[in-house]
Structure 1
Amino acid sequence: MSDTTEKTEAEATTPEPHERETTDERGASILRQVVGSNAAISILAVVLALILSGILIAATDPTVQSTAGYFFARPTDLFGAAWSSVSLAYTSIFQGAIINFQAVGFAAAITPLASTLNFAMPLIVAGLGVALSFRTGMFNIGGQGQILIGAACAGWVGFSFDLPIGIHIPLAVIAGIVGGAFWGAIVGFLKARTGAHEVIVTIMLNYVALYLISFMLRTPGLLQAKGSTNPQSPATLPSAILPNPFGAHFPLSLGFLIVIAATFFVSWLLNRSSLGFRFRAVGENPHAARTAGINVKNVYVWAMLISGALIGIAGATQVLSTLTTGFSSGIDAGIGFDAITVALLGRSRPWGVFGAGILFGALKAGGYAMQAANGVPIDIVLVVQSLIVLFVAAPPLVRSIFRIPAPGAKPRPTRSAKADSKKMAVVTK
């Protein structure tokens, strides 16, 4: 009797075949959703970029080229040299961007991490500005001009007024925000009132800002340092320089806290506020948003104003860092265009942009270490960034390489499903 009871309980707890298939299908469906998500596609794009860049590093290595001459005699020499070249290059990037295992002491070991965050600081906040415009359905290509105007405003406040540090730093940062917001609002106003395309306007305003700042840096009484013939501003006063609370071994200013606060703000703005809802509604379908009663023209103006303000913070942090000789017209350092890449990799999501900015900061910081340690050209970093953009902009290509089904596509039938279909076909006949 007990044996019969145990068998009955076992049979009751054992799932039927169709229940097992349903569980397997659910698990496979969840796995497909995770692998096919935007975050996974971005990660796979980075992996592909690193693989292809590794091939390029190996192909340009002199040792690999010499071993390729006798490949058919000893093929292992070629593979060994290629592996050594690529592994050393990527190890140098890691040690130059995250942790240097060869350094003496913990503080010196994590100094590369500070360099990564320092490079990432303007990239993140500028990427947030570009991402916000993307979510509104606009393409802000004017990051260079907005950084230049923001840097000029922050720099002018930084060297013109001798104020207490608690007033001088916030005032200089606000000046950079206002400058970038003004330059971005011009684009939104022209698009709203005249229908001008924001891509053309932002590109043209980049040139306007560049030549305007260059003129002001060559004109005494405007931005040029007194007694200097170089196109350079006076040095920022110590009371306006963002302090470094971590010491010389961790060269990271408090500007990174501003960047974190900006990330929280953009996340709240897009996901929690009514203005952010209007931004997203216009970005999805401006005609439907207009039908729902949203003032699309005002949304364009506000979106570009806030986008420019965020990018202006990047200009302010560039100027208010530990500058001792003032700034020049090259203060943007290509950040305005790199921010587009950061926003694309982050899928225009605030915390995705934050992570993408840190990745690109690590590539920049590690690229110099790679060049110094192995002689690999730092242009390889630009190749990695370009390949990341290529793969991020072409999700179908990434899905086809890794055999990931597109969203909404019918899953491939399992072996059991194929067997059941064949049985049904036999029974039907």
Structure 2
Amino acid sequence: MPGSRELSESLQVHRKTVVNAYDELDAQGWITLKPYSGTFVSEKLPETTPVKLRVAPFRPDQTAETGYKIKPGSQVRDPVPTSRELTGFHDGPDVRLVPLAQLASAYRGVLTRKFALHNWSYVDVEGKTLLRKVLSEDLNMTRGMHTSPDNIFITRGSQMGIFMLSQLLLDKDDLVIVGEVDFYYACNTFTHVGARPLKVRVDDMGIDVDQIEEECRKRKIRAVYVTAHHHYPTTVTLCAARRMKLLSLSEQYGFIIIEDDYDYDFHYHSGPILPLASADRKGMVVYLGTLSKSIAPAIRIGYVAAPKNLILELGKLRQIIDVQGDPVMEQAVAELFVTGEVRRHMKKALKEYRQRRDYMSALLRDRLGEVIDFRTPEGGLAIWAKFEQGIDLPELSRKVREKGIVLSNGLIHDSAAGKKLNSTRMGFGWMNREEAEKAVEVLWNAVKS
């Protein structure tokens, strides 16, 4: 074959283009590059057509079912479709508020810096060092905690943290106290590892700590799972007195407190009550947080804050699950913390979500006040609404979906509670004023029909 210089002149392309093409052909086995001799077509060309096995003709239904038995992994129900192509009462942040330009710039910088090739290699199983450092500093500054980077373990969202902690801390038949209405997927995770969720009352001041004390007197409790800042799904805040008593009971009876602080950043009035972990002096609290709601659901970064020995065990477990997270994204997000961009974004988003909460509350009271009961939440991105018993909530959800509006049918909360609640979370964070007006109008028309 012609030399690279000759071929580049003939084709009128840069010589590097020809060199790169020859290198690719050589890698695929089409040509052989012989130093000081030239470029030659390979004597044995690579196979390009796969050899077919002699099997029976393919049937379209063959990929629907396995030819072997599958052990059921859990009791999770089939997820209800929540297409983001539809507007409505999505329970989460508005991704249109994400600082995309800044995130893209940081991500591109991590990808292209020549001196940062270590971002492409294996990193510590606990997560990128810089991200653990800035998260530790942020937790200490905003939540009164006392952590170092060695106390931080990065996960792919808080649900992964719940799963890993369940694997490490819970054994078969261990009792885990949860709210009578609680985060369905956390309870399901506990069940998945063989533990038994034990439900206690939840009122306007949060989970009933007096009932927890009663249960501790009767039986051995391994852990208590709480969403103290805004109880999921009812949004109520665990009062300060109950928090301190829960910490005291934990020390007295030796149970672990798993504190899932999924939306600490979203509090709209006075300063938020500091997490239980900030007052823990005996190493009894394991703290879970996430950036998936603070930034965007697609940013699968969560974290566990805990004593060093538990962080070490989480690292060992990770090596048989995931090896490591997403070091490039972790580094990019860490740099946004360093520049202050994450806090600037949260400050702007908090103001916008407060306005959306107030507007949605006013709309619901004006148009649907006779058929739903709710109170405006102090924080979070959703309203907990109880529909009157004459309304079939799943059917209402189906009707509004036909009109392009998403509304949870509430069944997942019924499953968690073990009874029909006819209640659901109505997210307001996703919608601007015009979208909120449309969603409430469609909902009102469906109620009347």
Per the normalisation by structure 2, the TM-score is 0.27
Structure with higher helix content = 1
Higher relative contact order (CA 8 A, sep 6+): 1
Structure with higher strand content = 2
Per the normalisation by structure 1, the TM-score is 0.28
